[in-house]
Amino acid sequence: MKKLYGVTAAMITPFTENGRVDTESLAVLTDKLVKKGVHCLYPCGTTGEMVHLTENERKEIAETVVRAADGRARVFIHCGAMRQEETESLLAHAFAAGADGAGIVTPMFLGVDDREMTAYYKRLSSLVPADFPLYLYNIPQCSGNDLNASTVGRLAGECANIIGIKYSFPDMLRTLDYLHIPALSVLHGCDKMFAELLMMGCDGTVSGVAGVFPEPFLEVYNAFLDRDMDGMRKWQDICVCFCELLRCGSNMSWFKEALRLRGLPAGGMRAPQLDLPEEEKAVLIQKLEALCGIAGIPLEI
């Protein structure tokens, strides 16, 4: 089965001026990221403002990205939603749309215990073929629920298509617990430790910052493959600078404004999130121009 690996771009969702999903801009963004060399694409996740999208919009996004990628990069659609029925529908659609696999966040907001978590994922696993790869998605600081390693190990052992996990909390001991699960693919969302996580054994990153500036992350990964530790350290420091400048995805308005500065229309935010105020836009362009100059990365993508 295909796995997520290397630099997986967690994609923003561009909107038109009237608030609709801008599929034309999304297709352009997909093409640009693929041509930059990202290994995988991950739309409709946290970076994609998933909780502000309707079910039909998410299906439209999935179809657009699969079509625009055209087999040049792996596409894993995030399918987790607040309601299980919607998650099931999105998962079935991702498979039918030709995605390479899917990610599914834990149940959100209301607490679930291990028994409920296990039943949730086993049900979803049963809805798609055993060779359609699924990644669990654990982001407890946002979802309110945590996936412990024993539950993950049990699910991976009992469900042939649950092959990995994307973990987005900077708990390195938990990360090691995941890495000790036999044959489990582990990707992380802690961009500021990408190089260190690769050396721990993670297969790669699923990164919102890399969905805007993939270049330094690709340099880190390539240096890792070449066993170039000096290169890894150099480019990881640059990754950290981009992460801090873009607020590590704490609000996607930073990502969208940065993409606009790179020449890609990304549209605005959906309420209740707001676009960046003008004074912050002015500071951002100054700092991005300076950082791109230091890193040797063109501002325009």
Count of CB atoms within 10 A of residue 144's CB? 14
What secondary structure, in 3-state letters, does the chain show? Answer: CCCCCEEEEECCCCECCCCCECHHHHHHHHHHHHHHCCCEEECCCCCCCHHHCCHHHHHHHHHHHHHHHCCCCEEEEECCCCCHHHHHHHHHHHHHCCCCEEEEECCCCCCCCHHHHHHHHHHHHHCCCCCCCEEEEECHHHHCCCCCHHHHHHHHHHCCCEEEEEECCCCHHHHHHHHCCCCCEEEECCHHHHHHHHHHCCCEEEECHHHCCHHHHHHHHHHHHCCCHHHHHHHHHHHHHHHHHCHHHCCHHHHHHHHHHCCCCCCCCCCCCCCCCHHHHHHHHHHHHHHHHHHCCCCCC
Please give the Cα distance from 251 to 255 (Å, whole number). 8
Decide if 78 contacts 108 (C-beta within 8 A).
no
Amino acid 70: pLDDT = 98
Phi/psi region, residue 6 (left: phi>0; alpha: psi -120 to 50; beta: rest), is left
Strand partners, 6: 204
- Alpha-carbon distance 233 to 242, whole Å? 14
Q: d(Cα 195, Cα 199) in Å, to the nearest integer?
A: 6
Q: pLDDT value at position 248?
A: 87
CB 193 within 8 A of CB 170: yes
Per-residue pLDDT of the chain (301 residues; tens, 9 = 90+): 999 999 999 999 999 999 999 999 999 999 999 999 999 999 999 999 999 999 999 999 999 999 999 999 999 999 999 999 999 999 999 999 999 999 999 999 999 999 999 999 999 999 999 999 999 999 999 999 999 999 999 999 999 999 999 999 999 999 999 999 999 999 999 999 999 999 999 999 999 999 999 999 999 999 999 999 999 999 999 999 999 999 988 889 999 999 999 999 899 999 999 999 999 999 999 999 999 999 999 999 8
User: Which residues contact residue 68 at a Cβ distance below 8 angstroms, ignoring those fewer than 6 apart?
Assistant: 26, 27, 30, 31, 34
Kindly report the number of other CB atoms within 10 A of residue 204's CB atom.
25
Among 138, 185, 147, residue whose Cα is nearest residue 164? 185
120: its two tokens: 């949730």
Pair of tokens at residue 236: 């990881």
Q: Which residues pair with 135 in a beta bridge?
A: 103, 164
Structural domains for the chain: 6-295 (3.20.20.70)
> CA–CA separation, 80 vs 107, rounded Å?
8
DSSP-assigned beta bridge partners for residue 9: 41, 207
| Amino acid, single-letter form, for residue 254 | W
pTM: 0.97
At 60 the pLDDT is 99
> What integer pLDDT is reported at residue 249 of this predicted model?
80
Q: What is the pLDDT of residue 292?
A: 98
Check residue 250 and give its pLDDT.
Answer: 85
- State both tokens at 169: 């909390």
